[in-house]
Structure 1
């Protein structure tokens, strides 16, 4: 049995997102001995820029963009919802394993994605040779309303013609009575926090966490948000368990969907 399996054996971890993301993260944690409870605390809703999105997707279909980017699996859902089609001249750059799975399952093309060992937004900017060729590219970036526009700004700073559209909104989802009871009683031993929005929901929905409940933050932006909410705490002398959970999550998924 591995050291991580020993550390996480029997630990019940709340995974706060569903879909492909939740499945990949849960599997990685279970592979290391943890028990997982998928209980979405956030979900995705229609964008506040619906008209702009519709016009952008029409332009995408007609071939007006050289590239389109996506760093969230939810973008594939948005594209399917709108029956979007890609022009053959348009290339697609994506970040994240969950995004790749979603695009493959939807039958959408993927031209460029970073190496799986470093599948991050920052790595995409390094590996994307065309954006440093001197040619001005027309790029459509589809992102969440709560995402930090790292990729979008990286393209703009290089002088490209970027159309950025908020493709979806991230909204809070109330936990079920059963989940709240499991949290309050300590039957759930750890809560995974993978974005600033999730941190907000954990603070709001579970204001009195048991002392021994681990709050495990993945990503620097998430940790900063959790600390501002006075949410970040690791229990008593349990950093090894926290590190093992973070390693498991990061082995399965990139949190760049908060860095669009």
Structure 2
């Protein structure tokens, strides 16, 4: 534990599947903080996968100049459907791949495919539009972008403005947890053993637990909505930390001001944002 950590003995609520929250829990522990892990959302493949399967076939045939992956889940959906169809998910050499951030890039490299573009400064759809030189140059291109059912229209509108032919397909759906096991995007992973002081929290116990929490990390607009369905009026002491601009915007749209917004959508990005907000509160500018 860092000796100067202002996070010591504080608890952050992580609204994720325990296995996906493990890295954030570990980073919090390193700084002397604890975590309460409560899964509110789950991810499912579409009930009808014909559109996704057809898009996958076109991708493997080399029909697109670019494949755009805005989350690890989009790649998981492609892999799941490829396995179901007895296909090998191999990105054609003629197709370049753009990813939104490091987690998606790592998943792509595990597949054996290179990353041709990733924004360096802003790991978001806005950052992709701002930093993507080929897109900004306006040269016509065709794009496949599998996405969530609740994805924003930022990239779609950006492609249209540059004259790119974008094929958008729903790769997965965001649903309240637990989802339908027959449509699960991936098999549930075993819950990791949590360090001392951290614990799992059932959604029905969340309202009673809020008084013991110091912060809540929102990793998507959907986590905002599902949290507020249970806690319509979060207590004033609870710091609301957003993973990025779209999540922060959703909080503001619901009348709540984020205590902090992460510069990068990573565990360290979220924790750093929370820590900096606490330091600013302890030492306000004169």
TM over 0.5: yes
Gaps of 5+ in 2: 83-88, 179-199, 271-286
> Partners in 2 of 1:248 and 1:152 — Cα distance?
22
* CA RMSD across the alignment: 3.1
Task: Give the structure-2-normalised TM-score.
Answer: 0.71
Out of 164, 171, 191, the residue aligned to residue 167 of structure 1 is 171
**Structure 1 equivalent of residue 28 of structure 2:** 29
**TM-score of the aligned structures, taking structure 1 as reference length:** 0.78
Q: Answer yes or no: is 1:122 the counterpart of 2:126.
A: yes
Distance 1:43 1:189 in 2: 24
Q: Deviations over 1:98-131 (max 9, x none)?
A: 212222334343222122x433333322332222
Q: How is 1:1-260 mapped onto 2 (pairs within 5 angstroms)? A: 1=2, 3=4, 5-6=5-6, 8-18=7-17, 22-47=21-46, 50-83=49-82, 84-115=89-120, 117-173=121-177, 178=202, 180-181=204-205, 183-185=207-209, 186-207=211-232, 212-230=237-255, 232=256, 242-243=259-260, 246=262, 252=268
How many Å apart are 1:74 and its aligned residue?
Answer: 0.5
1:177/1:23 CA distance change after superposition, 3 Å:
closer
Deviations 1:140-192 (A, max 9, x none): 11111112121222112100111011211111226x86454365143333222
Corresponding residue pairs, total: 241
Alpha-carbon deviation of 1:203? Answer: 1.5
CA change 1:120–1:20 in 2 (3 A) is farther
Compare the two structures and name the one with the higher helix fraction. 1
- Residue 247 of structure 1: how far off its partner (Å): 6.3
The answer as to whether partners of 1:49 and 1:167 remain within 8 angstroms in 2 is no
Question: 1:16: how far off?
Answer: 1.1
Q: Which moved more, 1:212-221 or 1:60-69?
A: 212-221
SS of the equivalent of 1:98 reads helix
